[in-house]
Structure 1
Amino acid sequence: MPSVRVALAGATGNIGTPVLEALLGSDFNVTALSRIGGNSSKLKPHPNLTIKEVDFNSVESLAAALVGVQVVISCVATLAMGDQNPLIDAAVAAGVKRFIPAEFGIDSMNPLCRQLPIVGVSKVKTQQRLQEKSRSNPGFTYTAIANGLFLDWCLEENIILNIPQHTATLYNGGDVKFSASLLSDIAKAVLGVIAHQDETVNRVVYIHSALVTQNQLIQYVKEKDGKKWNTIVKDTEELKQESLAAQAEGSKGGIEAATLGFSLCGMFNSDYGCDFSSHLDNELLGIKELNEDELRKLVESFL
């Protein structure tokens, strides 16, 4: 399998960094696609890593960089998820066999999730493009990865809880069970898709490192240090309206806030399919769920 040549877009981002590390750690030959004048200087030299600067708006530029590549992985930033068509078209033109889009998050197959702008405007349109290209080019296939929230990153960034300050906004009361994944497990899932292309062809795969609730995570902290928490409760419908208003502002900050808000709407309301436990692909992709002790230690590490 390491003889497969892989191209990675967004190699310096939150998802791209662990994905690149996992690919190189498994001896894959990797072409990192970097925007002209972008962040390629952040990438450490590696004998299996080639960096190619490209124009992400040009199919010609991208296709030239993808010659000889079998798998393309898109880890572009959230705000760029709606602009993957040139990369998809270039992959088809270059004869790429498998495309993994920048999905990584809530369940884009859930009807309510598909109504959220973060999904409907970008992920659904990207899936439609991939389906269209796969139908007209039988050798071209895709796999999207749904992994819930980024568990370790969200704890580090104080998004689902602020552990150091012992504060939290409890969405829909804090007892909603939601799927969440470690960044390292998302990277493992990418490797699993490459290793199991027949079983993952043209569909969304689902993984999680743990099924948790906000109150469960808070309880682990309470049991460790005994300190009181200050919490407020917010309905995700209220959050959705706030996010729509922020998006309407049109500023970069407003769009970023709206994007996070829509993601949280999809992950803290059971109607949005935030519990993946009934349809996981963990076993196929080599993902092991955290046991309670491991989850507890993870949470305590942020104290």
Structure 2
Amino acid sequence: MVKIAVAGGSGHIASEVIDVLAATHKHEILILSRKDPSTTESLPGVTWAKTDYTDKAQLTSILNGVHTVLCFSSAHTDHGSAAQKLLIDAAVAAGVKRFAPNEWSSASIEELPWYAEKVNVRAYLEELNKEKKVLEYTLFQPGLLLDYCAPAGTCKHLEPFELWIDFPNRRAITLEGNVGEFTATTMKDLAHVVAGAVEYSGEWPVIGGVYGMTLSMSKLLEIGVKARGGKPWDITTLKEDDVRLGKVDSPWVPKFNDPALTPEQNEQFSKIIVRGSLLSGVSKSWVVSDEWNRLLPDYKFADVEEFLVKHWAGRP
């Protein structure tokens, strides 16, 4: 049993991970949040601490006695990674053994500019351990969370949002030739790997790939047709050169909605995301490695096709 602090613990991915950790009844879990604890769900063995991530002394005090910190704070709103860097400094000052920064997605940020702060944090942690091991850490990288392609309600907390591969409406935006590859991993698998990693007795690997299955865009579309009852999809095909120039000539664009942004910012961000999502398939930014699969060999990962067919079965 160890004490785990979860930063950004009220977020959707964090909440799914917390549920799995709490269900083991093995750990003491402390959630760090900017929200008032009274407005959130209470779980056995889970306590809350409110912080705005600006006071190192306060954070150090909160992290006293903590063994592992899992960070889920929002990268694109943490300018200069100031909050996460302060959290890392406080973790070191409090004697925390393990730290997982806010990764939880792609291996590379190529074509994914909204993940730029992740690189800053990676560099900060690398520099921290340059002379000697100060803080053990791993970059949990599952690729694309497959549940975003599943019906609403598949996960308790994770809310599907519009993607360029639109399962609910049987449509997709793709590049000529259906180029692009992605690793897809279910939220359940990621959460259980994190729980296994917390109990893992060896040293955490710096690169922490959580590998479900890698598949091409054409294969994902093929699975989409099967999962959605065999009915044809409306496919918008774009030229890669046009997309690189920022020309996304599509009758629809998946909408990104972040409550922290204005409607105008969300509209602009939506265009950036669809461009980056298409091009990142070409650069294979979402293709991840399998470090945690090898370290936790007894865990069986879900099959992408079986997962999607099962959860879309009988849906209109």
1:19 maps to 2:14: no
- What residue in structure 2 maps to residue 260 of structure 1? 273
1:275 maps to 2:272: no
1:228 maps to 2:226: no
Distance 1:274 1:46, change over 3 A: closer
Distance 1:5 1:178, change over 3 A: same
For residue 117 of structure 1, the aligned residue among 84, 102, 113 is 113
Give how far 1:274 is off: 3.5
1:184-212 Cα offsets, whole Å, 9 max, x none, are: 222122223222363424x1111132223
- What residue in structure 1 maps to residue 93 of structure 2? 93
Distance 1:258 1:70, change over 3 A: farther
Give how far 1:56 is off: 1.0
- What residue in structure 1 maps to residue 40 of structure 2? 43
Q: Determine helix, strand or coil for the equivalent of 2:166.
A: coil
What TM-score, normalized to structure 1?
Answer: 0.81
Contact 1:220 1:300 in 2 (8 A): no
Give how far 1:103 is off: 0.7
Contact 1:163 1:302 in 2 (8 A): no
**Residue type of the partner of 2:144?**
L
1:32 maps to 2:28: no
Distance 1:132 1:220, change over 3 A: closer
- What residue in structure 2 maps to residue 164 of structure 1? 168
**Residue type of the partner of 1:118?**
W
Matches within 5 A, 1:41-190: 41-80=38-77, 82-83=81-82, 84-108=84-108, 113=109, 116-119=112-115, 121-135=116-130, 138-155=133-150, 156-171=160-175, 173-190=177-194
**Residue type of the partner of 2:225?**
K
**Residue type of the partner of 2:86?**
P
Instruction: Give % identity.
Output: 25
1:209 maps to 2:212: yes
Higher helix content, 1 or 2: 1
Give how far 1:45 is off: 1.7
Unaligned 5+ segments in structure 1 are: 244-248
Distance 1:275 1:140, change over 3 A: closer
Distance 1:163 1:26, change over 3 A: same
- What residue in structure 1 maps to residue 157 of structure 2? none
1:89-125 Cα offsets, whole Å, 9 max, x none, are: 11111111111000111113xxxx3575334x31111
- What residue in structure 2 maps to residue 246 of structure 1? none
Supply the distance in 1 between the matched residues of 2:161 and 2:315 (Cα, whole angstroms): 10
Contact 1:19 1:190 in 2 (8 A): yes
Contact 1:100 1:142 in 2 (8 A): yes
Contact 2:106 2:288 in 1 (8 A): no
Aligned length: 287
Contact 2:75 2:118 in 1 (8 A): no
Q: Determine helix, strand or coil for the equivalent of 2:286.
A: coil
- What residue in structure 1 maps to residue 252 of structure 2? none
Q: Determine helix, strand or coil for the equivalent of 2:105.
A: coil
Compare 184-193 and 293-302 and name the one that shifted more: 293-302
**Residue type of the partner of 2:102?**
A
- What residue in structure 1 maps to residue 295 of structure 2? 284
Q: Determine helix, strand or coil for the equivalent of 2:204.
A: coil
**Residue type of the partner of 1:4?**
V
1:239-288 Cα offsets, whole Å, 9 max, x none, are: 45549xxxxx996425743663476256411x3353336x4532424552
Distance 1:117 1:55, change over 3 A: same
Unaligned 5+ segments in structure 2 are: 151-159, 248-261
Supply the distance in 1 between the matched residues of 2:307 and 2:2 (Cα, whole angstroms): 34
Supply the distance in 1 between the matched residues of 2:219 and 2:312 (Cα, whole angstroms): 10
For residue 195 of structure 1, the aligned residue among 175, 191, 199 is 199
**Residue type of the partner of 2:281?**
F
